[in-house]
Structure 1
Amino acid sequence: MPLSFDLRWPFHKSTSGADFWVLHADIRLENSVGLHAPVAVNLSATVREVMPSLEACDAEAPVINTLRKEVDRRQVEFLKSGKLVPVNFSSRHYDFKRNKWVFGKASDEEIILMIERKVYWQTRLYGGPVWIGDPTEALYVETSPVHVVELARKLADQELITLEGEWVSANAALMAQAERFEADMRAALAELESKHAFERKTSTVDL
């Protein structure tokens, strides 16, 4: 699903007395009728110890990827008006043995699909060209920006995109696949909404 993230810096110490820091953010579902998810990112003391700082330059990439992973796990619900939902920014995504963030290793096929979707949606919503050398996205799929660009060349060879360095322009052949990308988004949103509807129903029954 096409997402955008509005991170409201800086982190601030929890006012509840708990030992964590909080960053408010809003995840917007693009190409929707105003659907979004306001969240409070709760950074644990354990993660704070491995962070160089809580400034955007050091924290933005892992924060965005933590939120993205929560969306992928169907843990975040998008509504037209929703209440603030806590999201734990914990050590679950940090590999202490290798001293690195880990959000899940993607296959080359999955990365190529990510590139296709990114280029389609950004071109569709905002125009191009599209930057595919984003270290934050490379971190999310546990690879390097260089490898992402290498995989993009396969799409260029199929004449789906035009590649210039780390920048991509969508060709007509890619944009002609609009129904595929739109259907993927509808299916993902329907699955997410179904999950949360079931959870609300279960919660009501339990009460």
Structure 2
Amino acid sequence: MLIASHSISQQIQELALQAGLTLAGAGSGTDFTGAPTTKLQLKSAIGTTYSVETSESLSAEIERHTPLGDELKTYLQVLAKRMQTARPDVFLTLHGLPLSMQQFSWPYHHSTSGADSFILHGIAQLAEPGSPLHAKVAASLTVTFAEVLPALEQPYAEGVTFNAIRKTLDLGQLELLKSGNRQPVPVSTRYYSFRQQRFIFSETDDSKRKEFVRTKVFWTGARLGEGKASWIADPYDAQYLDCSIEDLQKIGRELAGEGWLTLDSSEEYATVSAKLSGQADHFVKQMESALALLKPRFNEEMRAGHTNM
């Protein structure tokens, strides 16, 4: 159980240790408004690292709202599973673009442009080795949508933010460039069903999910992961694809039966097969086709960026 008087750094370290993670580094910073933040670099048993940054005031919020502590624990448990892979920072789009989510300035802050929204800056980097292509993003979260989230901190808003970025790319409303201004990513109630009380980013069927899992295992396992396991039961992916973790595991079993991958005993992690590795040209061409589609479909008004965000 969390001790309320502990700092947020102590609380995260305690819960991370319970999840099997250790501390690789710690520091302090400030958010966009100058308020103090805690920065922690967490490390998994296989050596992968991941940065977590929260407001120092989050500990007081957890004391006032105890469910936040439970959700923080769940976030770190999920993160620990993702960090059993070589690239816990990489997330795939439905069109086959592997994205490394980098340098996000948590937490969200009020827009300085006068808009009634919260803003988060970060970078979605194409994860193809050696590629300079990236999108500097300004995720814009509406006030109404903010009320749906437990908090605007990384452990509570990271999943929907990353999924909104993926969805914006799916819609052709982001461009990956060698350089450029920040591009807007709407994080709004268009992705939330108040009737069903859940997030909905994409409508997918088994065929699309199967290709997604196959492509993900190639990129995060073979191409970027040096043959290490890929986590196919990621809740972020389940939310993005509008399916359950069990659906993803079922697809994993089907792909294993077809010789594309090998599952571990938990059916959550998959390693690439020679058959799948042999499809490298297909997946690279798929990525190149997705990149080619972005530029002509891109809204020219967005190309200039929103530097006042």
Question: How big is the shift at 1:183?
Answer: 1.2
Given the alignment, which residue of 186, 189, 192 partners 1:94?
192
Question: How big is the shift at 1:18?
Answer: 2.7
Residue type of the alignment partner of 1:106 = T
Q: Does 1:28 align with 2:112?
A: no
1:76 corresponds in structure 2 to: 174
2:293 corresponds in structure 1 to: 191
Q: Does 1:52 align with 2:52?
A: no
1:107 corresponds in structure 2 to: 205
Given the alignment, which residue of 143, 154, 176 partners 2:243?
143
Q: Does 1:4 align with 2:100?
A: yes
Deviations 1:49-78 (A, max 9, x none): 111111212111111111100001110011
Kept after mapping to 1: 8 A contact 2:167/2:202: no
Deviations 1:16-48 (A, max 9, x none): 333211110111112162100001111111101
Alignment partner of 1:76: what SS? coil
Cα distance in structure 1, aligned partners of 2:118 and 2:260: 44
TM-score in terms of structure 1 length: 0.91
Moved more, 131-140 or 54-63: 54-63
Residue type of the alignment partner of 2:243 = T
Q: Does 1:65 align with 2:167?
A: no
1:124 corresponds in structure 2 to: 223
Given the alignment, which residue of 167, 170, 182 partners 2:272?
170
Question: How big is the shift at 1:90?
Answer: 1.1
After TM superposition, which residue ranges in structure 1, 4 or more long, deviate above 3 angstroms? none
Alignment partner of 1:24: what SS? strand
Cα distance in structure 1, aligned partners of 2:113 and 2:205: 42
How many residues are treated as equivalent by the alignment? Answer: 200
Cα distance in structure 2, aligned partners of 1:18 and 1:188: 32
Residue type of the alignment partner of 1:25 = G
Between Structure 1 and Structure 2, which shows a larger proportion of helix residues?
1
Q: Does 1:152 align with 2:252?
A: yes
1:43 corresponds in structure 2 to: 141
Alignment partner of 1:185: what SS? helix
Cα distance in structure 1, aligned partners of 2:253 and 2:133: 34
Q: Which runs of 5+ in 2 are unaligned?
A: 1-96, 304-309
Cα distance in structure 2, aligned partners of 1:179 and 1:111: 20
Cα distance in structure 2, aligned partners of 1:53 and 1:89: 14
